[in-house]
Chain A
Amino acid sequence: MTDRPSSNVSVTRSLALIALVVAVVVLAFAYTAGWLSPDRLTPAKIVNGLAPPGGPALGFRRNHAKGVCFTGTFESNGGAAALSKAQMFAPGSYPVTGRFNLATPDAKATDATVRVRGLSLRVVTQDGNEWRSAMIDAPFFPVATPQGFYALLQASGRKDDPDAMKNFIAAHPEFARFGAWATSAPWTASYAQERYNSLNSFIFTNAEGQDQVVRWSFVPEAKPEPVSPDDLKQRSPDFLASDITQRVSSAPQRWTMIVTLANPGDPTADPSKAWPDDRRKVEAGTLVVNAIEPEANGPCRDLNFDPTVLPSGIRVSDDPFPAARSAAYSVSFNRRTAEDKDYPHTPTEGVKP
Chain B
Amino acid sequence: MTSSHKRFTPIQRALHWIMAICILSMLFIGVGMVSTVRPDYLTLVSIHKPLGMLILVLALIRLIVRLVRGAPPLPSDMPEPMKLAAYLSHVAFYALMFALPLLGWGMLSAADYPVVVAGIRLPSFLPHSNELHTLLWNAHRFLALCFFALIVLHIAAALFHALVRRDGVFQAMASWRKG
Write the residues of chain A forming the contact surface with B, with a CB cutoff of 8 angstroms: 1-2, 4, 6, 11, 14-15, 17-18, 21-22, 25-26, 28-29, 32-34, 40-44, 46, 128-130, 146, 302-304, 306, 308-309, 312, 316, 320, 322-324, 326-328, 330, 333-334, 337-338, 340
Residues of chain A within 8 A (CB-CB) of B95 are: none
| Contact (Cβ within 8 A) A15 B39 | no
| Contact (Cβ within 8 A) A320 B38 | yes
Q: How distant is the Cα of A134 from the Cα of B25 in the complex, in angstroms?
A: 32
> For the complex, would chain A's binding face be called helix, strand, loop or mixed by DSSP majority?
helix
- Distance in angstroms from B163 CB to nearest chain A CB is 4
For the complex, count residues of B whose C-beta is within 8 A of A. Answer: 43
| Contact (Cβ within 8 A) A26 B152 | yes
Can you give 12 A-B contacts (C-beta < 8 A)? A1-B168, A22-B156, A41-B37, A42-B36, A44-B35, A130-B114, A146-B38, A316-B39, A323-B41, A327-B34, A337-B130, A338-B138
Known contacts A33-B32, A43-B37, A326 near B42 by CB under 8 Å: yes
CB-contacts of B110-142 with A (<8 A) = 111-114, 119, 121, 128, 130-131, 133-134, 137-138
| Contact (Cβ within 8 A) B35 A22 | no
| Contact (Cβ within 8 A) A22 B31 | no
Q: How distant is the Cα of A25 from the Cα of B27 in the complex, in angstroms?
A: 12
Residues of chain B within 8 A (CB-CB) of A337 are: 111, 130, 133-134
| Contact (Cβ within 8 A) B77 A128 | no
Residues of chain A within 8 A (CB-CB) of B35 are: 32-34, 40, 42-44
- Distance in angstroms from A157 CB to nearest chain B CB is 18
| Contact (Cβ within 8 A) A304 B111 | yes
| Contact (Cβ within 8 A) A11 B164 | yes
Interface string of B8-43 (1 = CB under 8 A from A): 000000000000000000011001111111111110
Residues of chain A within 8 A (CB-CB) of B86 are: none
Residues of chain A within 8 A (CB-CB) of B37 are: 41-43, 46, 146, 323-324, 327-328
Which of B34, B35, B171 gathers most chain A CB within 10 Å?
Answer: B35
Q: How distant is the Cα of A328 from the Cα of B33 in the complex, in angstroms?
A: 11
Partner of A6, one of B33, B34, B159, B164: B164
| Contact (Cβ within 8 A) B167 A2 | yes
| Contact (Cβ within 8 A) A1 B166 | yes
Which of B128, B130, B148, B168 gathers most chain A CB within 10 Å?
Answer: B130
Return the chain A residue nearest B45 by Cβ: A326
- Distance in angstroms from B126 CB to nearest chain A CB is 13
Residues of chain A within 8 A (CB-CB) of B113 are: 304, 306, 309
B160 at interface, CB cutoff 8 A? yes
Partner of A2, one of B28, B36, B168: B168
B75 at interface, CB cutoff 8 A? yes
| Contact (Cβ within 8 A) A18 B160 | yes
Known contacts A14-B163, A324-B41, A337-B111, A29 near B128 by CB under 8 Å: no
Q: How distant is the Cα of A316 from the Cα of B27 in the complex, in angstroms?
A: 25
- Distance in angstroms from A154 CB to nearest chain B CB is 15
Residues of chain A within 8 A (CB-CB) of B134 are: 334, 337-338, 340
| Contact (Cβ within 8 A) B114 A25 | no
- Distance in angstroms from B82 CB to nearest chain A CB is 14
Q: How distant is the Cα of A26 from the Cα of B155 in the complex, in angstroms?
A: 11
Residues of chain A within 8 A (CB-CB) of B75 are: 2
- Distance in angstroms from B45 CB to nearest chain A CB is 8
| Contact (Cβ within 8 A) A22 B155 | yes
Q: How distant is the Cα of A309 from the Cα of B112 in the complex, in angstroms?
A: 11
Q: How distant is the Cα of A320 from the Cα of B40 in the complex, in angstroms?
A: 10
Partner of B159, one of A4, A18, A302: A18
Residues of chain A within 8 A (CB-CB) of B163 are: 6, 14, 17-18
| Contact (Cβ within 8 A) B121 A128 | yes
| Contact (Cβ within 8 A) B38 A323 | yes
